[in-house]
């Protein structure tokens, strides 16, 4: 198996956010790669790793937050799933937004205009395959003249507008896009990742077309420079499974063999643990799943991930045990952001071993990204190695992830524009008061 650290990845966001702060968890619900609620990875080995939710290989990440559209110099990654309309209509008018359709939907739409299914396949390949990634009618070489005329009159190809591309000192690329409503989202090709969630309020979910278009743009803009983008992670500041209809639909479009043709096992959805949606995802999709665990007790997880107050560890993990019994050769990835003095003790390592028993899984240990406004500190590298060795000694598959792209706010969990108002911090459990005070 190829080590994740040697792969390029892309992270994609699924929700759009504004800068109005909401009481979000202190830790992002992303996997170790797309920051997003979403991320993308490349299968090809890179001279530097890229990472997302997500997260040290060459990684293309699109966060789930959107920056305030009044300040386009700031970054906001949004990747939220919308209401899951079966067909998307461009906001520019009555034209059909093609990127919002699965192939069966596109085929029916083409036939409704009097053309053969074969024409739909030729169109699909020019939008997503053959190294064309068409954004304009002039790029549809080889199609019937009348068919192209019909498309010009009735179809819209682009769901996003390119704003700018920024490059960090370590080679991380951040691509900024503008949506039709003025919100800004970003996709990041990043060397690696650690967890941090920028405080931003939810604006809206992204449509399937806006999600898919990030992958198309990334391949179109960067394939020649960084190599083939082969891995995708839905991650970032949002929770992808809140947008489950559009996330599942976008993932289906990405894995279509005649199109973008991502492997289902290399398209990862990251979640903080929404149990009902998690079950639905495992029933309806063959794509990979990453769960942000980050603690080994309900007390600690209630504190750093408030979603645990609704879906406790026992419920989350038992659900995974039961559901994965019905999936062949399938492993969930547990993301574990390590916080010094909070979740990195020998006892935590031993409890983690017990918690995941009976669950086909891999564990990703992630170094926390310290940032202004947080009282957490990253676990020292030596301690992370000891923690990893304890898990590996029990027979678990474990990865270590370090961070890159910090100077462009593009490391795992760093996508999005920081909010201007400090969200009230959750009460610190008494046994961790000393650890927190020593980091002040």
What is the token pair recorded at 258? Answer: 């005649």
* Cα(402)–Cα(102) distance, integer angstroms: 36
DSSP one-letter code for 202: E
> Among 230, 225, 128, 134, which Cα is nearest to 175's?
225
CB distance 34 to 51 below 8 Å: no
- Only one residue has tokens 């599942």, namely 248
DSSP string of 219-232?
HHHHHHHH----EE
Asked about 105 being catalytic, the answer comes back as no
Choosing from 107, 186, 239, 340, which is the catalytic residue?
186
Measure the CA angle with vertex 173, ends 381 and 77; round to 5°. 90
Measure the CA angle with vertex 216, ends 95 and 110; round to 5°. 35
Asked about 186 being catalytic, the answer comes back as yes
What is the token pair recorded at 328? Answer: 């062949």
For 234, phi then psi, to 5°, come to: -85, 115
How many whole angstroms from its chain centre is CA 60? 9
CB distance 211 to 250 below 8 Å: yes
CA dihedral 348, 352, 353, 356 (to 10 degrees): 170
The pairing of strands 397-401 and 361-367 is: parallel
**Cα dihedral 288, 292, 298, 302 sign:** negative
* Alpha helices for 170-312 (secondary structure H): 208-226, 244-255, 275-284, 298-304
* Cα(48)–Cα(408) distance, integer angstroms: 16
CA distances from 12 to 187, 341, 409 (A): 6, 31, 15
> Among 185, 193, 142, which Cα is nearest to 160's?
185
CB distance 276 to 308 below 8 Å: no
Catalytic residues: 186, 412
């Amino acid at each position: 198996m190829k080590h994740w650290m040697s792969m390029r990845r892309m992270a994609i966001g699924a929700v759009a956010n504004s800068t109005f702060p909401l009481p979000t968890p202190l830790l992002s619900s992303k996997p170790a790669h797309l920051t997003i609620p979403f991320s993308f990875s490349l299968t090809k080995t890179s001279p530097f790793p890229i990472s997302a939710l997500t997260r040290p290989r060459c990684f293309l990440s699109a966060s789930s937050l959107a920056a305030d559209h009044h300040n386009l110099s700031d970054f906001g990654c949004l990747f939220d799933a919308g209401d899951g309309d079966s067909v998307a209509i461009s906001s520019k008018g009555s034209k059909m937004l093609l990127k919002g359709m699965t192939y069966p939907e596109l085929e029916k739409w083409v036939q409704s205009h009097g053309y053969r299914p074969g024409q739909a396949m030729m169109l699909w390949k020019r939008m997503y395959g053959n190294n064309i990634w068409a954004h304009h009618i002039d790029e549809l070489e080889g199609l019937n003249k009348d068919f192209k005329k019909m498309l010009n009159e009735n179809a819209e190809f682009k769901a996003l507008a390119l704003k700018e591309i920024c490059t960090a000192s370590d080679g991380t690329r951040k691509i900024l896009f503008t949506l039709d409503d003025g919100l800004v989202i970003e996709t990041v090709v990043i060397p690696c990742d650690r967890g941090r969630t920028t405080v931003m309020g939810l604006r809206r979910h992204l449509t399937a077309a806006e999600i898919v278009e990030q992958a198309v743009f990334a391949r179109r803009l960067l394939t020649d420079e960084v190599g083939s983008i082969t891995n995708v992670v839905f991650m970032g500041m949002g929770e992808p499974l809140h947008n489950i209809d559009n996330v599942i639909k976008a993932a289906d479009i990405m894995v279509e063999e005649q199109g973008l043709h991502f492997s289902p096992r290399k398209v990862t959805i990251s979640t903080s643990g929404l149990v009902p949606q998690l079950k639905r995802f495992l029933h309806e999709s063959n794509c990979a799943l990453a769960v942000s665990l980050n603690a080994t007790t309900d007390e600690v997880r209630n504190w750093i991930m408030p979603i645990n107050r609704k879906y406790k560890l026992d419920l989350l993990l038992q659900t995974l045990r039961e559901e994965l019994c019905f999936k062949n050769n399938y492993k969930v990835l547990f993301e574990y952001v390590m916080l010094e003095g909070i979740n990195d003790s020998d006892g935590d390592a031993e409890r983690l071993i017990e918690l995941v028993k009976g669950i086909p899984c891999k564990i990703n240990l992630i170094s926390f990204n310290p940032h202004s406004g947080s009282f957490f500190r990253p676990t020292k590298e030596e301690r992370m190695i000891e923690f990893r060795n304890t898990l590996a000694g029990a027979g678990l598959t474990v990865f270590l992830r370090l961070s890159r792209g910090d100077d462009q706010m593009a490391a795992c969990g760093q996508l999005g524009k920081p909010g201007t108002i400090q969200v009230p911090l959750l009460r610190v459990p008494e046994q961790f008061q000393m650890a927190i005070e020593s980091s002040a």
